[in-house]
Amino acid sequence: METKRLTARRCSGIKEGYWSMARKDELVQRLGKFEDICEDPDELRRRMAELEDKIAELMDPETAQRCREAEQARAKAESFVAWAEMI
């Protein structure tokens, strides 16, 4: 299930951060759901890394390596897209 993103990065060069056209109530409800799961993004990243490590333990070494390489490529592409959006 894909969640609809409520925010977008500012790219005007005047302000940094995020903006949203969503209503305050919608933003607060989404934030509350996120906080019910995890209080901060770093904690969520840590939990995800732990799960990825557990999954890798169940895979054969070659498949686990291909998955790590695919994740590194995805992260690199995501960084490039974020950079491209800023220019």
Question: Where along the chain do its domains lie?
Answer: 1-37, 41-87
Question: To 5 degrees, how large is the angle CA 82–CA 19–CA 6?
Answer: 85
Segment holding 42, helix H or strand E: helix 41-58
| Residue 4: predicted pLDDT | 80
Mean pLDDT by 10 residues, the chain (87 residues): 77 82 89 80 85 84 86 85 69
| Residue 1: predicted pLDDT | 56
